[in-house]
Amino acid sequence: MQDTLKIGDRLFKSRLLLGTGKYSNVDLMVRSIQASGSQLVTVALRRFNRERPEDDLYGPLSKLSGVTLMPNTSGARTAEEAFRAALLGRELTGSEFVKLEIHPNPHHLMPDPIETYEAAKMLVKENFFVLPYMPADPVLAKRLEDLGCAAVMPLGAAIGSGRGLQTRELVELIVRDSTIPVIVDAGLRSPSEAASALEMGCSAVLINSAVAAAEKPVEMAEAFALGVRAGRAAYLAGLMPSGCEAIASSPLTAFLTT
Amino acid sequence: MKLIINGESRQTAEATTVAALILQEGADPGRVAVLLNDRVVPAREREATTLREGDRVEMLTLAGGG
């Protein structure tokens, strides 16, 4: 049986979600998405500027087959603003998926749990598949699940920080109790961290900076795809128990001593 | 009449619709979404939505983001 990830009403083969920000050019972004094998890709909104047609993302993104776009609500500081941003994102992409993110403080970009919860409530009612970026808080995760969110996306560390999975123990608690996919979003830097998240039972990871800001983004996208596959395979295989005492894996019979 | 388009003050002809404004601004109608005084104007309502003096219009498109 094929191992697929179900989010909302959709099945995905890839467990790597990729962002489209920070690439030095659009061609590199497109090739990185292709190399990653990602099937769910985030996009943001900005004001239209007739003076800068080279910034257009529609043309390049339409070249990608098998990719679902997920607009984010970046820039929103309140539930109302996020709700509007989500409606605009749906207008622009036709996608029912929304990455709900509300982070009012530009210094740490930590998600506002109260506004996020209120926005999720409104968006679920509008039949969006809501994927909230959230603090790694098991109680909030359960509340968002109860609202009808399609997945929860606890942060590993601050956005773009590359600090890795700092929230490991809390994410473990979220995974243990969730019946919807848990996707680590933000903070990851290396494919081994992505593998580690999948090994502990996370359903997927969302990566942007770690690929876009790598020396070679296309190669790093492929490396993340491998990391995610390794982690998932290990999770399905079932890790051995761990403990403090040694347990010999070779016979200890003393046949060399007399 | 005066409109505020993407934060900038602009003069346009009277009785301009949202649909006409999109073309006037040089945008591809399939690649922008419009907010009128903080309310989303769905694509199907653009022809029927006439702008008024002092309206605030935001015209948005996709950008790279995580």
pLDDT digits (tens, 9 = 90+) for A38-66: 999 999 999 998 777 667 788 888 889 89
Per-residue pLDDT of chain A (258 residues; tens, 9 = 90+): 689 999 999 999 999 999 999 999 999 999 999 999 999 999 999 999 877 766 778 888 888 989 999 999 999 999 999 999 999 999 999 999 999 999 999 999 999 999 999 999 999 999 999 999 999 999 999 999 999 999 999 999 999 999 999 999 999 999 999 999 999 999 999 999 999 999 999 999 999 999 999 999 999 999 999 999 999 999 999 999 998 899 889 888 888 776
- For chain A positions 12-41, those within 8 Å of chain B (CB to CB) are 19-23, 29
Range of the domain at B39: 2-60
Which is nearest to A158 in space by CA: A224, A107, A225? A107
C-alpha distances in Å from residue A171, one per residue of A157, A181, A197, A202: 11, 12, 9, 8
With respect to residue A255, please indicate whether it lies within any of the assigned structural domains: no
Flag whether B51 is in a domain.
yes
Residue of chain A minimizing CA distance to B32: A92
Check if A125 is active-site: no
In a domain, A19, yes or no: yes
A48: which 2 tokens? Answer: 């239209």
CATH classification at residue B40: 3.10.20.30
pLDDT at A1: 63
β-strand partners of B62 = A45
State the 10-residue block means of pLDDT for chain B, 66 residues long: 92 88 91 95 95 94 94
- What is this model's ipTM? 0.91
| Residue A247 placed within a domain | no
pLDDT of residue A51: 75
* A18 neighbors A225 (Cβ within 8 angstroms): no
Residue A136, domain CATH: 3.20.20.70
From the candidates A13, A22, A63, A99, give the one annotated as an active-site residue: A99
Which member of B33, B62, B65 has the closest CB to residue A74? B65
Residue A212: what pLDDT?
A: 97
Residue in chain B nearest A133 by alpha carbon: B66
Model pLDDT, residue B56: 96
State which residues form the domain around A171: 5-237
Phi and psi torsions of A240, nearest 5°: -65, 160
The answer as to whether B65 is a domain residue is no
The answer to whether A52 faces chain B, any CB pair under 8 Å, is: no
Amino acid at A191: P
Structural domains in chain A (count): 1
Residue A123 within any structural domain of the chain: yes
Count of structural domains within chain B: 1
- Angle between helix axes A138-147 and A113-125 (nearest 10 degrees) is 20
- Chain B CB contacts of A54 under 8 Å are none
Q: How many CB atoms lie within 10 A of CB A244?
A: 4
In a domain, A251, yes or no: no
* Structure-token pair, residue A108: 């740490």
